């Protein structure tokens, strides 16, 4: 699963997004968070028939057909059922997105020990996501998003049996293509990543507190073996 991640994308990385994804970014500096949690606002790259651009969403998918906001919105959706379940099939066909992230957190059992997982090359992750826009009876609207998860690869299995879907460079153009609305073709874009694509290290339990948001959260912390 994916319950927390870091989105610390500064000016230079925003310019990289513009070049790599051919996207229009509205701001020269987006909000920085070392500890993105459910219901927080996240930036994602989305597209329409004319352009790719940055959108801002509350993390936790609320399908547009829901009459009321749920108490527990879906922060993750499973790759295995995304093309069949009514709750998110339409979004998968028409509203795919990429969430650029520096890395994500996972808690290893037993003891729920936090680890930070990040690209081995020091770049950004492009997390596969779907979004929707919920509208209330009063006319208010709420853009929401969920991260797609899949079975863990060999590297992640020591931490958790699930992991976020990472969209690889060769699949990005098709993933963001609004004309691609074939479920089976879209599912093929969620290919497993190489075992050495990600690295991880143990981090401070300070990340457990949602209100904590500073660079030290992603720093490697060495602990002596418990006796």
166 catalytic per annotation: no
* Catalytic, out of 2, 24, 28, 170: 2
* Catalytic, out of 106, 166, 216, 226: 106
Handedness of CA 137, 36, 166, 84 (dihedral sign): negative
Q: Pairing mode, if any, of strands 41-47 and 52-59?
A: antiparallel
Identify which of 184, 165, 167 has the alpha carbon closest to the alpha carbon of residue 175: 167
Identify which of 196, 201, 174, 197 has the alpha carbon closest to the alpha carbon of residue 185: 174
80 catalytic per annotation: no
Contact 99, 179 (CB under 8 A): no
- Going by C-beta distance under 8 Å and a sequence separation of 6 or more, which residues neighbour residue 38? 3, 59, 60, 73, 75
Following CA atoms 133, 135, 68, 101 in sequence, which dihedral angle do they give, to the nearest 10 degrees?
30
Alpha carbon distance 167, 172 (integer Å) = 6
**Prior bond to 28 cis, omega within 30?**
no
- Going by C-beta distance under 8 Å and a sequence separation of 6 or more, which residues neighbour residue 159? 106, 107, 108, 115, 117, 152, 200
As annotated, the active-site residues are: 2, 106
């Amino acid at each position: 699963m994916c319950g927390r991640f870091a989105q610390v994308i500064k000016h230079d990385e925003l310019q990289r997004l513009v070049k790599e994804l051919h996207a229009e970014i509205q701001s020269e500096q987006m909000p920085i968070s070392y500890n993105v949690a459910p219901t927080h606002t996240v930036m994602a790259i989305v597209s329409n028939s004319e352009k790719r651009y940055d959108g801002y969403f509350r993390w936790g998918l609320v399908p547009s057909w829901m009459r009321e906001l749920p108490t527990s919105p879906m922060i993750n959706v499973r790759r295995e059922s995304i093309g069949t379940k009514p709750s998110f099939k339409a979004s998968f066909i028409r509203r795919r997105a990429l969430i650029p992230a520096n890395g994500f957190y996972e808690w290893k059992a037993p003891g729920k020990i936090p680890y930070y997982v990040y690209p081995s090359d020091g770049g950004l992750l492009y997390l596969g996501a779907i979004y929707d826009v919920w509208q209330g009876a009063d006319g208010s609207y709420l853009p929401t998003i969920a991260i797609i998860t899949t079975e863990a690869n060999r590297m992640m299995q020591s931490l958790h049996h699930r992991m976020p879907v990472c969209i690889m460079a060769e699949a990005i153009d098709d993933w963001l293509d609004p004309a691609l609305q074939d479920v089976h073709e879209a599912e093929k874009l969620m290919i497993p990543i190489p075992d050495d694509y990600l690295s991880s290290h143990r981090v401070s339990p300070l990340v457990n507190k949602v209100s904590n948001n500073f660079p030290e959260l992603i720093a490697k912390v060495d602990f002596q073996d418990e006796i």
